[in-house]
Amino acid sequence: MDDLLADFLTETDESLAELDVALVKLERSPGDEATLALIFRMVHTIKGTCGFLGLPRLERVAHAAESVLGRVRDRKLTATPEIVTQVLEGLDRIKAILAGLRANGAEPAGDDAALIATLDGIAERRARRAPPPDAVPQASPGGEPVAGAEPTAGEAAAASQTIRVGVDVLEGLMTLVSELVLTRNQLLQLARTEENPAFTVPLQRLSHITSDLQEGVVKTRMQPIGNAWNKLPRLVRDLARDLGKRIELIMLGAETELDRQVLELIKDPLTHMVRNCADHGLEPTEARRAAGKPESGRITLNAYHEGGHILIEIADDGAGLPTAKIRAKAISLGFATEAELAAMTEAQIQRFILRPGFSTAAAVTAVSGRGVGMDVVKSNIERIGGTIDLKSVAGQGTTVTVKIPLTLAIVSALIVQAGGERFAIPQISVVELVRARAAALDGAAADHAAADPAGETSVIERINDTPVLRLRERLLPLVSLTGLLHLEGAAETRPDDRAYIVVTQVGATTLGIIVDRVFDTEEIVVKPVAPILRHITMFSGNTILGDGSVIMILDPNGIARATGVGVGGGDPRAAGRDPQRAGPSLHGADGPTAMLLFRAGDGAPLAVPLALVARLEDIPRARIESSAGQPVTQYRGQLMPLVPFAGALDAGRERFTVLVFSDDSGGGPARSMGLVVDEIVDVVKDRLRMQLGGARPGLLGTAIINGASTDVIDIAHYLTLAFGDWFKAPRAAVAANVLVVDDSGFFRQMLAPAMTAAGFRVTAVASAAEALARRDAGEMFAAIVSDIQMPEIDGFELVRRIRAEGAWAELPVIALSGSTEPADIARGRAAGFTDYVTKFERDALLASLRQCLGQGAPPLGLAA
């Protein structure tokens, strides 16, 4: 009887899931006879089996539901939403009773009288011509055929070809096959070293059979993703009712198969995301009508295979993510400062919703926004080695794309060595491999790097103790695996040793992991680490290699978090423990600004945005000469003027630390300027809280960095000291008057001096409204430079209004933004911007301005 009951529970669970889907379908097309017949048959079967197994409570509820469905089938009733709701409620009760049955082996006590009365009431409502409900087709419990006794011919055929196998049996098979694969690998390795022709052929056969077997067993674990979706139609229907919205759910690619283990793990995150779409994503009906959209909102799920991964898109055609709200919330939660947000793209700002503790719902509703949000979804997805991406277009909707591995059991991994130990890095997160040479801070190495930036060997540069790599115009934050894992072999790596950098990508974060050697890629069988080691977040598992040795599998997510480079890497323990946290990346997904801290003179520590510094040099006193009363040094075959900061050259030292600012553009001979300082203190990635007031020339102002008040220097000032004409175009015309629109005081302060030095007259305003007021007052400018993200009227809207009417309609308008991705540029051009320039890239801005104003200067690219 126990086995019978267990089978009944499993089968009924499946039927109920199907019933939910079918009923929602019926509600949409009440005349669909096939669906109705299916529903009726399933409820009938459940009822019959209950009687057979002696489950009276279940049977009564099922019977009442069946009576209603019988009326519908006989066309005495129409499947109105109200009726469907009642039947669904009946099914919910059945589920609750089944849960109790599963837990205790007996029906739980309870009173279903009210529910049954309601159902019966519906059944009798228009049943005057019909016989009383008790006479509805219904056999005595004992005589009722058991489950599956009246399936259609097709189903019967299908049923005979499938058997039910316990999951533990499959898991056991999987373990055995994994071990077989490992043994096979060991044999193959042996065969390679000991040439014995007698073994070659059988071994090859064994190898093939093992591979086929592995594939076959993996297939047994595969299930269509539709199994994780079958609760969603019901969920969406109920949500639509509760929220008073009209929602259409479209599911594509439901037959896409993936590992059952993965399937189980993504069920909840998927459900959560669909809730989000329904609750926050889709606008209320009136708002949709007002926006000229179809009243019925649409949620689309789409699953498909792509290169060993499954991609699942969850899209809605709602209002899109409220960027302005997210900005405000990010500031109020202290996740970022105004200055940092100003440098970010919309996509970067939107990613804040993936941060722990971030819920965008202004009001917490019953449906979602209960404190757990997208951050939980993200961490669940990452736990299974997946990634999550957001795309949102205002007014058109939001698409969340989840990328997950097909199976967790077997992955392709890169085997690397660091500190004498081997490790596996899952291939999914490896972007590329770079061979590099560790460089000391001496001129020769830096010269080499500069002379051969695209050469085969890149050079790991160090800013203080933080290693970085220049990779295609970007500074890649690096972390040494040896250092991170506290491996004793660290001393083996001498500065001139070759090293490899495994460039990994986790979400939007790119991080380079320095290793000593790279071996091969291998298909590895992932095994969980022992419970005692689970707290070490650097590892996602361990495995046995072909040669029989055990190695640990690195978790790039964990590494990124431990180094503080990761998006949402808010692990305060990791941050406090690891001084390398200060990633030098200025363009970090949503990270704080990277600043180079140095000392000169007795004053406060000084800082300059790291992106502006081309190189750091250590120059001996002997190499410093004098030319026309100015200290210079020979640098890359040219004389480089040196500007001593706060008398740094007077100090009686033999070597000097020099920050090199360079102009590497192709226009003319490259020019460099060296700022001589006392010492480099650190590279800090901190929120720049600029306390305005650059009282002295050469200072932008004072900021609190690392808790200490720090002077942020104005590089433009020192560049003009070195070259009077640094910012001046060769054919500079009369000073043109430029209007700068930026809500951030920090950027207004930063831009104005640079532009003034370059020969422009600058008028700065803090908002688009202020700018438009000046237009209406009749003021005229030669060009306008505007921020994109501003409260109330943003940059796009501003340029639209400028182009729409008034005296400024023909003016060049340059957008300043955190990113110059092609999509952003396209959007900017569509809105009417003349050009699109990245914030911080002062010289690109100046070049663009000159071009717009017809001064035709060659672009000056201050190397970053």
Site for other proteins, rule CB under 8 A: 178-179, 182-183, 419, 421, 485-487, 527, 530-536, 538-539, 542-544, 548-552
d(CA 18, CA 584): 53
Q: In what order do the strands lie in the sheet with 761-765?
A: 761-765, 737-741, 783-787, 813-817, 835-838
Least spacing, CB of residue 521 vs other proteins, in Å: 19
* Nearest residue (CB) to other proteins, 367 versus 490: 490
- Among left, alpha and beta (phi > 0; psi -120 to 50; other), residue 637 is left
* Nearest residue (CB) to other proteins, 181 versus 476: 181
Least spacing, CB of residue 560 vs other proteins, in Å: 16
* Nearest residue (CB) to other proteins, 185 versus 662: 185
Burial of 480 (0-12, 13-18, 19+ CB in 10 A): buried
Least spacing, CB of residue 2 vs other proteins, in Å: 23
Report residue 244 CA to chain centroid gap.
31
* Nearest residue (CB) to other proteins, 551 versus 597: 551
* Nearest residue (CB) to other proteins, 183 versus 851: 183
Burial of 805 (0-12, 13-18, 19+ CB in 10 A): exposed
CB 398 within 8 A of CB 391: yes
338: which 2 tokens?
């105004």
Distances (CA, A) of 113 to 40, 47, 101: 22, 17, 19
Least spacing, CB of residue 531 vs other proteins, in Å: 7
* Nearest residue (CB) to other proteins, 23 versus 177: 177
Pairing outcome for strands 297-306 and 247-252:
parallel
* Nearest residue (CB) to other proteins, 481 versus 595: 481
Least spacing, CB of residue 426 vs other proteins, in Å: 17
253: which 2 tokens?
């690619």
691: which 2 tokens?
């306390």
- Please state the three-class secondary structure of 518-568 as a single string: EEEEEEEECECCCHHHCCCCCEEEEEECCCCCEEEEECHHHHHHHHCCCCC
Least spacing, CB of residue 483 vs other proteins, in Å: 11
Least spacing, CB of residue 513 vs other proteins, in Å: 14
* Nearest residue (CB) to other proteins, 480 versus 838: 480
d(CA 666, CA 647): 33
* Nearest residue (CB) to other proteins, 182 versus 303: 182
d(CA 43, CA 31): 18
Least spacing, CB of residue 544 vs other proteins, in Å: 5
d(CA 797, CA 590): 24
d(CA 396, CA 293): 9
Least spacing, CB of residue 504 vs other proteins, in Å: 18
Least spacing, CB of residue 520 vs other proteins, in Å: 18
d(CA 752, CA 750): 6
What does the angle CA 612 – CA 617 – CA 620 come to, to the nearest 5 degrees? Answer: 150
Residue 132 DSSP symbol: P
| Residue 255: count of CB within 10 angstroms of its CB | 9
* Nearest residue (CB) to other proteins, 550 versus 809: 550
Least spacing, CB of residue 171 vs other proteins, in Å: 12
Distances (CA, A) of 692 to 57, 704, 750: 74, 11, 11
Least spacing, CB of residue 525 vs other proteins, in Å: 9
Least spacing, CB of residue 682 vs other proteins, in Å: 25
* Nearest residue (CB) to other proteins, 525 versus 673: 525
* Nearest residue (CB) to other proteins, 542 versus 557: 542
- Please state the three-class secondary structure of 351-374 as a single string: HHHHCCCCCCCCCCCCCCCCCCCH
Coil/strand/helix, residue 145 = coil
* Nearest residue (CB) to other proteins, 353 versus 525: 525
